[in-house]
Amino acid sequence: MESKLSKLDRLKKRKEEIERQLKALEESEKQAARKRETRQKIIVGAAVLAHAAKDAAFAKTLREVLAVAVVEERNRAVIADLLNPMPADKTDTVANVAA
């Protein structure tokens, strides 16, 4: 007959293994969700820029939104060409970037 101690040890080891598996599965699901969110942002961003390329009023609104929403200097530097309108004789900046 198996001693109570060895059965307890077996069950504890089994519990630890299940907990490791659960943690791995949870991490995998979090990573998949992050990848999906990143992909969504790319798709939405591309659609917004494409629309801005076709609609000057939307491009102006987008510039205004970006000017308020993007506050970190390093991020503003990346989108600087989207924040500043082109001179009147040239096509809208956002439209040029989206094209």
Q: What is the pLDDT of residues 12-49, one digit of tens each?
A: 999 999 999 999 999 999 999 999 999 999 999 999 99
Cα dist from 61 to 5, 23, 26, 57, 67, whole Å? 70, 44, 40, 6, 10
Structure confidence at residue 94 as a pLDDT band (50, 70, 90):
low
Q: Which is higher by pLDDT, 78 or 86? A: 78
Q: 63 near 85, Cβ under 8 Å?
A: yes
Overall average pLDDT of the 49-72 stretch: 95
